[in-house]
Every structure is written in C-alpha cells, then in structure tokens.
Structure 1
Amino acid sequence: MTQIDKEQLELIENAQRRIKQKKRLYIHFVLFLIGSILIIVANTVLGIGKDFTPFEKEWFVFAILIWLFLLLYHTFNVFVTHKFMGKEWEQKQLNKLVAEQKTRIEKIKKELKKEASHIAESEIYNEELTIKDKTSELTIIAAAAENNAIGKDNKLIWHLSNDLKRFKSLTDGHHIIMGRKTFESFPKPLPNRTHVVITRQSDYKAPNGVILVNSLEAAIEASKNDSQPFVIGGGEIYKQAMTFADKIELTRVHETFEADAFFPEIDSNIWKETFNEFHQKDENHDFEFSFLTYVRI
C-alpha cells in the first residue's frame, strides 16, 4: 500500500472515531433529558428525598446541575479537547499529500524527458523532417474574404477575373494538392497541372493522371519532384498545410460573406508579408481585393 493510501486510511479511521464520539454525546444528551425528568418526578410525585433540601433547595436541582456539568464537560471533550480533525491536523495531511504529489510529478518529468529523446528519433518525427526536405517550396494558394470565408456548398462565393488569371499563372505546370470535395467542384481536371487528390475513400474513382492519396503527407511525397507544388484547398487541407508550407499566395477579398469553409488565421509571428497589391472593384470585379504574399519567418 502506498503512502497516500495509508493517509487516506488514517483519514477514514479518524472520521469513524469522530462519528462514534458524536453518537455517544447524543446518547448522553438524551439520557440527561430523560434522567432529569425522572429525578424531578421521583422527588415531586413519589416524594423520594422530599425532606432533603440542601441550601433550602430541592435535591433534584443539584443533581440536575451536576449532571448538566458532566454533559457540558463531555461536549467540551468532543468538540475541543479530543478533536482529531482540527485545522492543524488537516494542514498536516495536506502537506503530506502535496509533498507526495510533487515527488510523483518530478518522477513523471524525468520519464517524459527520456521519452522525448526517443520521440525525436522516432519514424514520425523523422518523416516530418523528411517531408520538409522533399520540396524546395510548398505553397498554399487561396482566395479568402475579410472573415476568412473561402466557399459555401463546395462553391466559390465570388468571381474575380484577375484572381483566376493569377491562380492559373502561378500553378501552371505544377502539382496542385487538394481534398476530394475541392476536386469534385471542378467541371473537369485543370489543364497542364498534376492533380493530387486526398481522400479516405479506398474505392474512389478519378480520371487518368489524377494521383490519389490518403493524407497530406502522402500528397507532399507524391509531389516531391516538383520544385513548387501548390495546396489549393479546401479548408481542412489548408489548416493541415499551414504546418508544412513555406509560402502563402493569398487573394484577400475586402468583404465579408456567409460561408461553410474558411481559411485559417495567418499568425504574424510565423508569417511575414512580402507583397501587397491592391485592386479596386470595376466592371469585371464586384469587390475590392489585394494580392498578398507571405513567407515563413
């Protein structure tokens, strides 16, 4: 049995002892009440000791006072003299428990430090490092509103001619990594680009030339021969890609929209804006927008 178990057992035993003390005090109190009534009846009704009147008082008055003193003494003992679970005792128990927990925490810390070195050498950790080394520049490309909305019902919310031209220009000739729903939003595969589609459906059917994988890591591995593969959506894939990406090419639409898909927040402690080109709305563009480029710090 551990030290804490012994302390808990001591706590229970003392609690049981306190309960017994209080029960005995309660019985004493009941007996005092009944006894007092019987003494009064014995003197006044039965006439026992009727002629015995010390200090010109009936004897039962002194008997009851003496018994009351014993009851008060008993009460004092239970709640003061023999109080096993007072503040001092409770603090002592608490200090013991805290000291024991500190010892256990230190032990866990030491074990975690040992485990950390093993994790650093594990396959998962090395796989992530290898992924970072497999491509010179993994780029996220997206168009997002001021509230980070990117789409609704698997469709674009806006149509910006220059944004589409920029997307085509940047991704032309490269691998484009996307989730299944993003791929299905296209009428057909985009020309002159290698589509890498992430899906958990093992029996998913796709046109010839489309590479099917089951994770973002596998998609990056499939694109390792491309100097600049692009992650093009959707929201969950963008969120995962923020860990691996080296650059973000973002079209910021200066408006807010209702949406069910969103771009993740860009942390200024991780990403540095290196390019910002503002565009006014015109006959071909219903909203103001800016082309932004971020690189990892």
Structure 2
Amino acid sequence: MFGKKKSSPQIDKEQLELIENAQKRIKQKKRLYVHFVLFLIGAIFLIVANTVIGIGKDVTLFGKEWFLFAILLWLFFFLYHLFNVFVTHKFIGKAWEKQQLEKLVAKQKDRIEKIKQDLVKEETVLAKSEVYNKTKNINKKQSTLTIIAAAAENNAIGKDNQLIWHLSDDLKRFKALTSGHHIIMGRKTFESFPKPLPNRTHVVITRQANYQAPDGVIIVNSLEDALDASKSDKQPFIIGGGQIYKQAMGIADKIELTRVHSTFEADAFFPEIDFNVWKETNNVFHKKDSDNEFDFSFLTYERK
C-alpha cells in the first residue's frame, strides 16, 4: 500500500564482482573487435588517400611513404590492445575469477547450512506451539487394543463354531476384562452366542450385505472400520475368530491368552505368537478342578 517500498533482491558483493567482471570482459572484447574493424578500414583509407587521392604523396620517412609508418603504429596499438585483452587477462584475471568462484561456493555452502539451522529452529518452535501440541495429542493413540482368546497347546480355539472345552474360570476372566468395553468379532463368533453379551458393545465384522443384528450391535465391513467404531473406548477387545485374530496381530498392543494345556482337533486356530515381537509379562498357572476340566494358564503378552 502507500509508503511501502518494494523489497530489492539481495546479492553478495562476491556475486556482484563476478557479474561486473563478466560484463567488463564482454565490453573489452567488443571494443577489441571495433578496434580491429577500424584498423582495417583505416589502413585501407590511408593507402587509398596516399596512392589514389595523392594526399601527402611527397612525404616520406626513411625513404618510405608516410602511411606505412602510420599503419605500423596503428598495428602496434592494436596488438597492444589484443595483448591486454587476452594475454594480460589470462595471467591476472583468471586467478582472480577462480578465487571469486571459490568464495562464491563457500558462501553458498554457508547459506545452505544457515538455512538448515533455521529449519531446525523453526521445527523446535513449532513443536512448542500450542497448535502443534494439540494436533499431536489428537493424533496420538488414545486406546490399547487387546486380543483376548483361549487356545490349546496346538493353538486350537474351536470347532464347528463352538468352544471345545469348558473352563469356568476362563469365562469369568473374559467377563471381568471385557465388561464395559467394545468387543470386536467376526460374524461367526457373534452367531455362536445365544444372544448379545450384557454390558458390552458388540462390533461385528461381516462381508454380508444388509446383515441383520439386534439393536445396539454395530455392523462393519472391515477391521479398520471396527476400530473406528470403537475409538471412544480406551481398551477395545478383539475376541475372534481365527481370521480376525490373524488380522489383529499386526496392530494389537496386548494379548490376554488362556493357554489350555492339551491338544484338540479343531477347524479354527489362534495365530502363532512371534516372540521377537511379543514379550510375556504375566503367567499364572491353574490346575484342573471340578469347574475347569483341563490345566490352563493365564498369559499376558505386550508388544515389545
């Protein structure tokens, strides 16, 4: 607006000197070219003026026509000019140009380094800003995704969409851990329940279009959508079946596993636990009794 001056581009003295030197060299070569043309025209004019027109025809120096000495003198000045433009410049100017180029390169390196340092400073300021921290907190993971399952020594978890053992303590533990939370499952697992489990939000993954479920049951088409539907829960649980467990192994934070110390025939299996990824943080062994027909252990794994 009014009174505001346009900002002029900044240029280093070294860069300016280099540009001025280049312009000077161009002018020198142009002047040398003009000098050469004038010398040729002038020499022809002197010869014509003396021999054809007769100007100074009787004037001689050392027995020679005067124009020969004039042409030789002019040739001397031209050769001196040529020497200054190419020979003197070669001995003096090139070294100076090289020095200027080295200065320029060093200057640009310093500028690049300064830009890098400024970027680091800006990032630090940004990291301390309220907006950045607010965005960071929003993007920060707010929940712990837990896989909960009961699996035999051979990783069997079920057959014909039914459990293949009865462990009263395991069912009590499942209820205690999952109550009040979202439980994510595949369609077949959901259909294995006589009715939705109380005090839990059911999220059912199915590829079936228009799948009908009781009120309050959330129907989604993928594990990603199931997690999105459970984002308000600080600890949603993956409860099966085998394919859903397999998909969740790469993103879960914790595994609550009841290991049944026996092997069974089954058509659904829990995925192998990679101990390079998971570490065992809790292990409680229980012997079989009247309420639990097999020995079992409550195991907890957390991602390393």
TM class by smaller structure: 0.5 to 0.7
* Aligned twin of 1:211: 218
> Could you tell me how far apart the structure 1 residues matched to 2:142 and 2:262 are?
34
> Could you tell me how far apart the structure 2 residues matched to 1:208 and 1:146 are?
37
Q: Which runs of 4+ in 1 moved over 6 A?
A: none
Cα-Cα RMSD: 1.6
> Could you tell me how far apart the structure 1 residues matched to 2:158 and 2:241 are?
9
Aligned pairs for 1:58-97 (under 5 A) are: none
The Cα of 1:135 is off from its aligned counterpart by 4.1
SS of the residue corresponding to residue 150 of structure 2 reads strand
Structure 1 regions of 5+ residues with no counterpart? Answer: 1-131
* Aligned twin of 2:42: none
Question: Deviations along 1:26-52, whole A, 9 cap, x unmatched?
Answer: xxxxxxxxxxxxxxxxxxxxxxxxxxx
For the Cα contact (< 8 Å) 1:274–1:294, is it kept in 2? yes
* Aligned twin of 1:59: none
Which residue identity is paired with 1:185?
A: S
Which residue identity is paired with 2:266?
A: A
SS of the residue corresponding to residue 252 of structure 1 reads strand
Question: Deviations along 1:17-76, whole A, 9 cap, x unmatched?
Answer: xxxxxxxxxxxxxxxxxxxxxxxxxxxxxxxxxxxxxxxxxxxxxxxxxxxxxxxxxxxx
* Aligned twin of 1:242: 249
Which residue identity is paired with 1:213?
A: V
CA spacing shift, 1:204–1:242, aligned 2, 3 Å: same
> Could you tell me how far apart the structure 2 residues matched to 1:134 and 1:267 are?
23
Aligned length: 168
* Aligned twin of 1:189: 196
1:285 to 273, 292, 299: 292
* Aligned twin of 1:160: 167
Structure 2 regions of 5+ residues with no counterpart? Answer: 1-138
The Cα of 1:147 is off from its aligned counterpart by 0.1
For the Cα contact (< 8 Å) 2:158–2:268, is it kept in 1? yes
Question: Deviations along 1:132-191, whole A, 9 cap, x unmatched?
Answer: 955420000000000000000000000100000000000000000000000000000000
* Aligned twin of 1:46: none
For the Cα contact (< 8 Å) 2:143–2:236, is it kept in 1? no
> Could you tell me how far apart the structure 2 residues matched to 1:282 and 1:208 are?
39
The Cα of 1:283 is off from its aligned counterpart by 1.2
For the Cα contact (< 8 Å) 2:284–2:297, is it kept in 1? yes
* Residue 238 of structure 2 corresponds to residue 231 of structure 1: yes
Aligned pairs for 1:264-275 (under 5 A) are: 264-275=271-282
For the Cα contact (< 8 Å) 1:134–1:221, is it kept in 2? no
For the Cα contact (< 8 Å) 1:134–1:224, is it kept in 2? no
Which residue identity is paired with 1:244?
A: I
* Residue 260 of structure 2 corresponds to residue 253 of structure 1: yes
> Bigger radius of gyration, 1 or 2?
2
CA spacing shift, 1:216–1:290, aligned 2, 3 Å: same
Question: Deviations along 1:79-114, whole A, 9 cap, x unmatched?
Answer: xxxxxxxxxxxxxxxxxxxxxxxxxxxxxxxxxxxx
TM-score, reference length from structure 2 = 0.54
> Could you tell me how far apart the structure 1 residues matched to 2:143 and 2:291 are?
35
* Aligned twin of 1:149: 156
SS of the residue corresponding to residue 273 of structure 1 reads strand
* Aligned twin of 1:137: 144
* Aligned twin of 2:228: 221
Identity of aligned residues (%): 79
> Could you tell me how far apart the structure 2 residues matched to 1:215 and 1:135 are?
20
Moved more, 254-263 or 134-143: 134-143
CA spacing shift, 1:185–1:200, aligned 2, 3 Å: same
1:200 to 207, 225, 236: 207
For the Cα contact (< 8 Å) 1:135–1:228, is it kept in 2? no
The Cα of 1:284 is off from its aligned counterpart by 1.1
TM-score, reference length from structure 1 = 0.55
